[in-house]
Every structure is written in C-alpha cells, then in structure tokens.
A = this chain, B = another copy of it.
Amino acid sequence: MALKEILLTPGPSQVPHRVRAKLMEQAWYHRSTRFREIYAQVRQRLQQVFETKNDVLVFTGSGTVAMEAAIINVVSPGRKAVVVSAGKWGERLVQICEQYKLGLDVLKLDYGRSPTPEQVAERAKDPAVQAVYLHLCETSTGAKYDIENIGKAVRKVNPEALYGVDGISGAIGMACPVDAWGVDLFMAGSQKGLMMPPGLSMLSVSPRAWKVVEQNKGAPTYYSSLLRARKGLPENDPPFTPANTLFDAQNEALAMLVEEGIHNVHKRHAVLAQATRAAVKALGLELFPDSPAEVLTVVKSPDGLDSSAVIKTARDRYGVTLANGQGEMKGKMFRIAHMGYCSGMDTLSGIAALELGLKANGYGVKLGAGLAAAQDVLAQAPKEVLL
C-alpha cells in the first residue's frame, strides 16, 4: 500500500476535503452569473481576510504573477523600486525589476536576517523611490519582516512611496492588517494559508496605488496588467479566462477561514510554530532566522549532517514531506510549515519524522524529546485554536 502522506512544505499546504470536493465538480462556463457571484464573494472574503477595503484582484497563475503585477504596473521609467533581498524571494523581486530594466535599489542582507525600519527608510528616502517591496515572510529563510514599523518609517521619510508586501507565504498565517499597516500592494497565493492547490494569486491595490497605475498605462505588461484586470472588476468578470473551478474551491476555503475567524487562524499558526520551536530546542537544534515567522520553522541542520538525507528518510519511510533549503541553502536546513490546513497532530508528525530522520542518519537524538516539548505547548493551547 502507498505511504499515507502528510505534507508540511511551505507551499503547497494541505487542502481540506471540503475544498477538494469542490475541485472534483464538473467544469462549467466562466462567463456566467455563477462565476461573477463566486468572484464577488472571493474578493469580498479576501478583503475580510486581508483586513482591507482596497480592491482585491485574483489572477490565474503562480504567486509570481501577483509579484510581477505589483511591480511592472507601478514603477515608471525614471523612478525606482527599493527591494529588500535576504533570500530566494527577495531575489525574485530583484529579478523582476531587472528583467524590466526598472530603476532599482536593493537592500541586500545576509540570509536569515530581517531588515530594520531604519535600514529600509534610509533607502526609501530618495524622492525617486516610487515603491518599496519586501515580504511579510521570506519563505526561503523563515524570516519575518516587521511590516508595521517598516511601513511607518518609510511613510515618515517618503510619504509618496507605495508600500508593496509579498504575503504569498505569510497571508492568513500571520497578522498583516493591510489597511491598518498602510500596505498599498499586498500579494498572496492560493497554495499556502489559503488552503488551496497552486494556481491562483491575489493582489490588493490601494486607491493611491491605483493612481500610480493609471499613470503607467503604457507599461509593458498584458497578462499582468492591472488596468485590464480593473476593467472587469465592477462586473466581477476578469479579462482572461479564469481558472473558474479553482475560484469556486478557493471561495469554499475562504468560507472556512472566515467561519473560523482570522484571528483564531493567526493564533493556531503561532501555537504550531511555538510547539515546533520547543521541539527544536529540546533536540538541541538551532533556528535559522533571527526573527522567525509564524508560518514555518526553519531549522539549521546539525554540523556535518546533510539535511537532504534526513528529509529523504522522513518522506520515504514515514510519508512526511518536509522542505529542504533552497539554492545555496540546500542540504543545510529543514523547513517545516505550519500554514493552512495543518493540525497539532500534523505538527507532531513532522517533529516525529524529523527525530526519526535525524536518528537514522547518525545524529544522536533522544526519540520523543522534541515531541514531549511540543505536546506541552499543545496541551496549554486553548482548544479553539487547534484544528
């Protein structure tokens, strides 16, 4: 019999049965009242989940479409973007700017670091800066960025600059009230906290961001064009064939999140992160980022031990998929996600598989030590935050 699998990668995350049942439905016509009603509801629920009154658009595509849209429709010739780059996803933002030959100032930090408000403000104060881009969570390192205070610092030195936050892995798992924190462009993807397979990405656009977008009519972008997408918003009718069955399923997942209440969802992620970190400590391991995000825990592999071997044991012998480091971090870390439809028991399975994988690969671990520490955390958590 095939292994019974538990998916703990920082995207894709597990999808609830209620949502997958929607995915199995027969195809249906997308230029229809049915679609328009679903898209309207998806957009309205995304506003609730992102805590914003801004327009929210949904693209059929990877999270990268939302990133591209947030940049190319905004940064005009002669102006520049400030990008925080301290991991693979910062590098992606940089690559997008470079491919489009946009003005660019990169605040480059070591992997695992998070920028201070002062560091970002220092770059943002140049009046040529049209927008600042960074992440709620840099998924490749597990680092959390202080979106609230960085935003305040940026607005202080450059009130005109737009504030673009990649929440692809962070959204829903971590608090990021878009309006309260002054986020003009908030990017998200379906396959993380939003409890769906990959295929949709989201972008919220503030009124002042729309003003900038309107001035960029000639931007070299078609599929990712915000002006084209906006034309269809009043009728909830996107310009290009939407993956309508995914929208329908996303609507179901959003209903579940709204029913639970987003603050409860945040707390659940925090509890699972805390449990995992207690286990990491009990196992004598170290966290990688200075300031860890709540949606995943990134752990350094013990000196001399290739994390790939541990991950392979966890997956091939126990059916638990943890993620490796990306790029030059491959073999050097474990990434254990808490995002989306992830329960306390899933988290314990992840810790158990990590322990078993470490032991099988020669690291002297006392089986159950991490589990007991994590159980302690779960035991103290209010019942309603557990799945």
- Chain A positions within 8 Å of B, measured between CB atoms, are 5, 7, 9, 11-15, 20-21, 23-32, 59-65, 68, 72, 95-96, 99-101, 189, 191, 197-199, 218, 220-225, 240-246, 321, 323
Contacts and interface: CB of A to CB of B under 8 A. Distances in A.
Contacts of A63: 240-241
Contacts of A65: 61, 223
A95 B197 contact: no
Contacts of A221: 99, 220
Given A60-B61, A222-B68, A242 B27 contact: no
Contacts of A222: 64, 68, 72, 95-96, 99-100
A191 to B, nearest CB: 7
A161 to B, nearest CB: 22
A150 B25 CA distance: 40
Contacts of A15: 26-27
A27 to B, nearest CB: 4
A99 B241 contact: no
B68 A28 contact: no
Contacts of A23: 20, 23-24, 245
A85 to B, nearest CB: 16
A60 B240 contact: no
A27 B5 CA distance: 10
A14 B27 contact: yes
Contacts of A241: 11, 62-64, 189, 191, 198
Contacts of A198: 30, 60, 241-245
* 8 tightest A-B CB contacts, nearest first: A199-B243, A220-B220, A24-B24, A62-B240, A12-B27, A197-B245, A64-B240, A61-B61
